[in-house]
């Protein structure tokens, strides 16, 4: 990739571009899910190549694949994730997260019975569980209905208010422009435009 990007703390940045432009790849590099083939990426001063564990403690990634435990409930999914983070799985906090994403009345149901939109809501809750200063959202509006769109908007607004940095990959320009401060447009792994989110070109740079 050939991308030069700097996001300030507390900002919300939209990453957009055509399919295959490198949006998901960029977020996965920043989350240390994959290694970049050249160049250097840093998160809060930590190198994504040589300080991967430090970066992982400070980033949360909502990816395309939910990787949920189908046979378990939403609460059990979050409890397991919480233990992986070295926490105790405090019940009230986990239930509060599920309520925040609109699953407060389905906390004990099997995830196998969930629609794609409900699974996306649970995946959002799991990403928020990390309470990371940097949140990486890959197509967060995917599989969601209009109520889900508003939910994502509200969640992003709360992250900004808390001083966290959000990078959101999306092809929904109008939606992204409404919640993001800055935007970058990628094309075949290269950054071809950057500027205020409200000014992002619809037909390409």
- Can you give the pLDDT at residue 17? 95
- Can you give the pLDDT at residue 87? 86
Average pLDDT over residues 126-155: 96
Confidence band for 9, pLDDT divided at 50, 70 and 90: confident
Q: What angle do CA 108, 133, 117 make, to 5 degrees?
A: 35
Is the pLDDT score of 120 beyond 70?
yes
Whole-number Å distance between alpha carbons of 170 and 39 = 24
Confidence band for 204, pLDDT divided at 50, 70 and 90: low
Confidence band for 39, pLDDT divided at 50, 70 and 90: confident
- Can you give the pLDDT at residue 112? 97
Q: What is the pLDDT of residues 13-37, one digit of tens each?
A: 999 999 999 999 999 999 999 998 8
Is the pLDDT score of 62 beyond 60?
yes
- Can you give the pLDDT at residue 173? 94
Which tokens sit at 133? 């200063």
- Can you give the pLDDT at residue 90? 87
Confidence band for 148, pLDDT divided at 50, 70 and 90: very high
Q: What is the pLDDT of residues 80-97, one digit of tens each?
A: 999 999 987 789 999 999
Is the pLDDT score of 205 beyond 90?
no
Q: What is the pLDDT of residues 72-84, one digit of tens each?
A: 999 999 999 999 9
3-class secondary-structure state, position 187: strand
Average pLDDT over residues 161-180: 96
- Can you give the pLDDT at residue 8? 87
Q: Please provide the DSSP assignment of 27-60 as one string.
A: HHHHTTSS--SSS--EETTEETTT-HHHHHTTEE
Confidence band for 160, pLDDT divided at 50, 70 and 90: very high
Burial grade of 171 (CB within 10 A; 0-12, 13-18, 19 or more): middle
Dihedral pair phi/psi, residue 6, rounded to 5°? -130, 125
Whole-number Å distance between alpha carbons of 58 and 44 = 8
Whole-number Å distance between alpha carbons of 190 and 198 = 21
Q: CA distances (Å), 90 to each of 76, 79, 103, 133, in order?
A: 12, 8, 17, 21
């Amino acid at each position: 990739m050939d991308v030069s990007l700097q996001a300030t703390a507390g900002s919300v940045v939209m990453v957009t571009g055509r399919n295959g432009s490198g949006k998901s790849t960029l977020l996965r590099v920043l989350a240390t899910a994959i290694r970049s083939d050249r160049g250097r990426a840093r998160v809060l001063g930590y190198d994504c190549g040589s300080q991967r564990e430090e970066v992982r403690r400070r980033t949360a990634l909502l990816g395309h694949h939910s990787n949920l435990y189908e046979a378990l409930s939403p609460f059990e999914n979050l409890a397991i994730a919480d233990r992986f983070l070295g926490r105790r799985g405090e019940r009230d906090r986990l239930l509060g997260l599920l309520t925040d994403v609109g699953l407060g009345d389905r906390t004990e149901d099997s995830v196998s019975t969930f629609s794609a939109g409900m699974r996306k809501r649970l995946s959002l809750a799991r990403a928020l569980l990390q309470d990371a200063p940097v949140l990486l959202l890959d197509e967060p509006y995917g599989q969601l209905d209009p109520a889900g769109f508003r939910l994502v908007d509200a969640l992003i607004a709360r992250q900004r208010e808390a001083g966290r940095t959000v990078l959101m990959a999306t092809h929904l320009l109008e939606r992204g422009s409404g919640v993001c401060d800055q935007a970058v447009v990628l094309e075949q792994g290269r950054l071809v435009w950057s500027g205020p989110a409200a000014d992002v070109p619809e037909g390409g740079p």
